[in-house]
Amino acid sequence: MRSEFSGGTSLRFARKGDIIPNIVLKTCKKMVDFLTISDRIRVMFPSGQHIFIPPIEMQIVYKEEVLKSEKDLEDALHLREVFKEKLNERKLEEYRKAVKSG
């Protein structure tokens, strides 16, 4: 890994020539970053490999409260619809408070 990453720079990865899909790696700086890591979700692949992602509730709140673009708000609405039976309202509020407090 390059030294810039450890210095706080975010790194975005995508297929050459494509923007979507992509993944962003960043270092934890704020309390909300550490909360996201501690509540992470393991996603397993058929190959047996896995990655960790933020909780769906955090993804929704981040798109609604931080990013706020039309696309992000549509994404948040889509996530709310797809996961409506599994969303934890208490977690949504906890993450919303954490994001707003910085």
Per-residue pLDDT reduced to its tens digit, 6-49: 566 788 899 999 988 888 888 888 888 888 889 999 999 999 99
For residue 95, pLDDT beyond 50: yes
d(CA 59, CA 32): 12
CA distances from 47 to 1, 22, 44 (A): 24, 20, 8
pLDDT of residue 8: 67
What are 59-93's pLDDT values in tens digits? 999 999 999 999 999 999 999 999 999 999 999 99
pLDDT of residue 1: 39
Pairing of strands 22-25, 11-14: antiparallel
